[in-house]
Amino acid sequence: MSVSILVVDDEPDVVELLRQCFRREARQGTYVMHFVDSGEAALERLSGNIEPALIAVLSDINMPGMDGLQLLSAIKQRCPDLPVMMVTAYGDDDRRRQAAVGGAAEFLTKPVDFERLKALLRQLSGSQFEETRRSIE
């Protein structure tokens, strides 16, 4: 069973980085990664249909236009249950607090600890499977 992750980052190399990082999972069909380069593009993508089921949004904070924290609050208004993880190069208390107040599921600092990210996603997709199984039963 496959699930989707939406990645929001204005740095184009993030696409290559995460594709390489999740190459095994992608080959096995565990995760399908979707990439957008702005908060605005993320909202547009979210308003459409994302297949397979979206389990998490991974968003950068510092972006031109709508920043990650604004995106977080916009997503929380539309789909309060969708986990949003903030990823930022600046792990200062202020951003951390704002992310927590805004309802972020997780706050990760760059350089991203891939093992931790994978563990978090495994948890999320695990609970997703649970929900799907329950809804089938």
Partner 1 sequence: MLRDITERKRAEDEIRTARDTAEAALRDLKAAQASLIHAEKMASLGQLTAGIAHEIKNPLNFVNNFADLSVELLDELKQTTAPAVAALDEETCTEVDEIVRMLTGNLAKIAEHGRRADGIVKSMLAHSRGSSSDRQNVDINALVEEALNLAYHGARAQDQNFNITLERELDADAAPIELVPQDVTRVFLNLFGNGFYATDKRRRDTGEPSFRPKLKVTTRDLGEAVEIRVRDNGIGIAPEFRDKMFQPFVTTKPTGEGTGLGLSISYEIITQQHGGVIEVDSRVGEFTEFTVRLPRYQRPVMTEAAS
Among the residue ranges 40-48, 66-74, 85-93, 127-135, the one whose residues contact partner 1 (CB under 8 A): 85-93
Among the residue ranges 26-34, 38-46, 106-114, 121-129, the one whose residues contact partner 1 (CB under 8 A): 106-114
Edge-first strand order for the sheet with 54-60 is 31-36, 3-8, 54-60, 84-88, 106-109
Contacts of partner 1 in 3-32 (CB under 8 A): 11, 13, 17, 20-21
Residue 101 interacts with partner 1 (CB under 8 A): yes or no? no
Residue 114 interacts with partner 1 (CB under 8 A): yes or no? yes
Residue 110 interacts with partner 1 (CB under 8 A): yes or no? yes
Closest distance of CB 55 from partner 1, Å: 22
Residue 90 interacts with partner 1 (CB under 8 A): yes or no? yes
Size of the site for partner 1 (CB under 8 A): 14
| Contacts with partner 1, residue ranges (CB under 8 A) | 11, 13, 17, 20-21, 89-90, 92-94, 110-112, 114
